[in-house]
Amino acid sequence: MELCDDNLTAIIGLVRKHTGIAMNEHKRVLLQGRLLPRLRALGLSSYRAYIERLATDRAEVASFINSVTTNDTAFFRTPAVWRWLEREFLPGWVARGETRPLRIWSAAAATGEESYSLAMTCLEFAQRAPDLRFEIMATDISTDALATARAALYRGRSVERFEQDYPALFRKYLRPVAGGFAFGADVTGHVSFGEHNLLQRPPRAGWFDLVMLRNVLIYFDHENQERVLAGAHAAMRPDARLVLGEQESITRLQTPFAFEQAHVYRIGGEK
């Protein structure tokens, strides 16, 4: 079924309205491929009928969001970030002698690989610093992705790459179950999941010591990038750190952040 220009424009507008993601006409084939199963499931004969359905069916809006969002992630993605956490950020946190838990927000957490990578990193570091306590809040706009994350059950390429690159951690924290490999409560007990749109107010204001906002800004235009970063800033404590993705730069945006090192930003001011 062909997605004509008028309907394509309308759907691109709905994508931006409900997710903030900026798309253009070059995404026609992608949108057709992702939305056609929804038309078939609903028994609709045209994209126009689907657009009209979205105007009145709030439940279908959730399915629409699940269909058009991308949940591309991996365990320990971008090794330099995890080296920084292990060698600089966590030792610095422990050296401060805080009595409260370290609070981390994994924003745009997708299917949970980043969140559980954070938990494993903290658990490994806690073997050398037993006083370390930590809490991870993981959020995403996709309810399908969150369901996968909460299940903590992985299969296919995701765990194959993890096992290949980090065999010791794989054997330590994942156990074989029917259909794949699962994390136990020693890992999942440190992570909570919730639905959140990055264009809305953060889940907690002035709460987090570390915000992971990786590989998501690339999907927004400049206006919404600044809105998302403002939300991240509102969620952070004054001495917190923000971590962005490999291909993301905020130098041309109006933000409250200052560059610290590759991938890592602090709230503006001197180090």
Residue 73 domain-assigned (yes or no): no
Instruction: Return d(Cα 150, Cα 146) in angstroms, integer.
Output: 6
Instruction: Residue 11: give the domain boundaries.
Output: 5-68
Co-location of 23 and 56 in the same domain: yes
Instruction: Return d(Cα 260, Cα 267) in angstroms, integer.
Output: 10
Residue 129 domain-assigned (yes or no): yes
First to last CA, the chain: 56
pLDDT of residue 271: 39
Question: What are 102's strand-pairing partners?
Answer: 134
**Residue corresponding to tokens 């509102």:** 234
Co-location of 47 and 176 in the same domain: no
Co-location of 107 and 140 in the same domain: yes
Instruction: Return d(Cα 264, Cα 95) in angstroms, integer.
Output: 19
- 99 by Cβ neighbours in 10 Å (0-12 / 13-18 / 19+) ranks as exposed
pLDDT of residue 270: 41
Length of the chain: 271
pTM for the model: 0.91
pLDDT of residue 2: 82
pLDDT of residue 252: 86
Co-location of 44 and 133 in the same domain: no
Number of domains within the chain: 2
pLDDT of the chain along its 271 residues, tens only? Answer: 788 989 999 999 999 999 999 998 989 999 999 999 999 999 999 999 999 999 999 999 999 999 998 887 899 999 999 999 999 999 999 999 999 999 999 999 999 999 999 999 999 999 999 999 999 999 999 999 999 999 999 999 889 999 999 999 999 999 999 889 999 999 999 999 999 999 999 999 999 999 999 999 999 999 999 999 999 999 999 999 999 998 888 988 999 999 999 999 999 854 3
Co-location of 84 and 63 in the same domain: no
Final residue before a domain boundary, out of 48, 68, 88: 68
Which CATH number does the domain housing residue 244 bear? 3.40.50.150
Co-location of 24 and 111 in the same domain: no
pLDDT of residue 249: 85
Co-location of 46 and 85 in the same domain: no
Co-location of 152 and 44 in the same domain: no
CA dihedral 108, 225, 59, 66 (to 10 degrees): -50
pLDDT of residue 201: 94
Final residue before a domain boundary, out of 38, 68, 98: 68
